[in-house]
Structure 1
Amino acid sequence: MALRYYRTFIDEVVTIENSKTEEKRACSMPPTGTCLEEECEEELRAQVACLAERAAHLEPLPRAVVKQVQMAGSRGHPDLCRRPCLHFAVGACLHGEECLYCHQPHPERAVTLDKRQRLLLGNLPEADLLEMLVLAFEAKLRGVAEPCAARIRAFLEVLERAAAGVPEGRRVALQGRLQVDQRKLQQKLQQLSLANLFGVTARVASAELATRSWEALENLRHLSDSL
């Protein structure tokens, strides 16, 4: 590929096969009042002429360097990162590496709880709520490698101790439609990403468990940076 500089434009030189004539391309007039001095023009032409050769010698950044420039919101992608950046998706994110939302590819439709499931989760008795969260985190452990799995098990023990401390009398036996909804809710919880599951726990559990949940998530994100 050959490049050329002409009147503030960088253009690819395209030739028609088996012909000495250059392929005709549409041209636009340069903006009024932007003509550069001839000396500057010559310098720019020389720089553009060697761009293709320089690009051919470029090498991918080492893995360690790539990790250092990873966006703040993308840490732990895909299971521990924050939600996708809506501005980045349309090419309008101005925060760059400091953006608090994820810039990595995500599924088109992420698994989330619908309004009915959020209401059910928020109205569950504490014992049932903690039991469902324990089962969801246990399911997540099957696909997580060490040492992240060890951190999740530590938080799981916190949930289990909290569940064990709830009096049995505060458990409510759900029946009929509510029982079916609870089973569907359990399945959906197990399909959430780890980040969303920690977030749900922080929103519906006690203040102490919410703090422990956010701390566990941040620890996992830091740990994923070093792996």
Structure 2
Amino acid sequence: MPKLCLQRTFIDEEDEMPRLPRFRSCPDLVERTKWSEWRSQYQVLTLRERSEKIKDEQNVTIQVAEPGASEGSYGHPEVCRRPCILFVRGTCQKGAACGFCHGQHTQKPASLDKQQRDAMDKWPAERLLEVVLPCLQQKVEKIHLPAANDLLELVERELAIRSWGQPSIPKTPRRICYACGRMSLSALVGLIGSRITSGQFPKVLKKALKALREDIKELDLQIEEDKI
């Protein structure tokens, strides 16, 4: 009588089935665990570096304008106007009468990308003010001028009026908060004025920024006279 040989079953313990090759799209569990740990550490490190970079940029106060500086350079780098492209190229002929900044900008001015701008266009005014207000507070603390405090109080008052009786504001994406934190004070004011166009608030806010620039200009001129 022939004997039966059972193989490749749960009874056969000696001969094990060879492991099938693993696809690249499905890595080993140990490798996936190591990858997830490395990715989490990298994300934390990146966030720390970004926060430290923001702190370093926020520690920069307004600088005294050099003799013969342009009209747009006063309050550099927080309250000045946009950098003069012609001055960077060496072709600006207006000199001190130029309305743009002739100061040295080591980094490209921070701005929002198209996706962030489209998202902010759908926001109500109170949400925009809620996001920009903490960034303005940090900038004003570094300036120490009454006109800067007046500008901050103007934004705080407008936010209190618009948010009265409104539902809670949803959480803002971190990328938008990070971009706003890197903007200068004048850029933040321009961001508010370009999206809140109703009522007298945009005009009053623009006048407050103009008054701040005039105060800084007067202080710089007094410093130049004292040196002479």
Question: Common fold, TM-score beyond 0.5?
Answer: yes
- Given residue 130 of structure 2, which amino acid in structure 1 is its aligned partner? E
Selected match of 1:217 from 196, 206, 209: 209
Equivalent pair of 1:125/1:170 in contact (CA under 8 Å): no
Confirm whether residue 196 of structure 1 aligns to residue 187 of structure 2: yes
Q: Gaps spanning 5+ residues in structure 1: where?
A: 1-63
Question: 1:168 Cα shift?
Answer: 5.3
Confirm whether residue 108 of structure 1 aligns to residue 100 of structure 2: no
Over the matched positions of the two proteins, sequence identity in percent amounts to 28
* Structure ranking higher in strand proportion: 1
Change (3 A) 1:171 1:185: farther
Distance in 1 of aligned mates of 2:122 and 2:85: 31
Equivalent pair of 2:127/2:169 in contact (CA under 8 Å): no
CA deviations 1:106-165 (Å, max 9, x no partner) are 123221122222222221122212211222211222322x2x2x3222222222222222
- Given residue 152 of structure 2, which amino acid in structure 1 is its aligned partner? L
Normalising by structure 1, we get a TM-score of 0.60
Question: 1:80 Cα shift?
Answer: 1.1
Distance in 2 of aligned mates of 1:220 and 1:198: 12
Question: 1:86 Cα shift?
Answer: 0.9
Confirm whether residue 74 of structure 1 aligns to residue 73 of structure 2: yes
Partner residue in 2 for 1:7: none
Partner residue in 2 for 1:152: 148
Equivalent pair of 1:126/1:166 in contact (CA under 8 Å): yes
Equivalent pair of 1:71/1:96 in contact (CA under 8 Å): yes
Larger Rg: 2
Equivalent pair of 2:84/2:101 in contact (CA under 8 Å): yes
SS at match of 1:165: helix
Distance in 2 of aligned mates of 1:66 and 1:187: 31
Change (3 A) 1:218 1:65: closer
SS at match of 2:187: helix
Matches within 5 A, 1:13-92: 67=67, 69-92=68-91
RMSD over aligned Cα atoms: 2.5
Equivalent pair of 1:140/1:190 in contact (CA under 8 Å): no
Normalising by structure 2, we get a TM-score of 0.60
- Given residue 212 of structure 2, which amino acid in structure 1 is its aligned partner? L
Equivalent pair of 1:125/1:172 in contact (CA under 8 Å): no
Distance in 2 of aligned mates of 1:172 and 1:188: 23
* Paired residues, number: 155
Instruction: Out of 107-116 and 192-201, give the one that drifted further.
Output: 107-116
CA deviations 1:73-110 (Å, max 9, x no partner) are 21221211111111111111122221111111112322
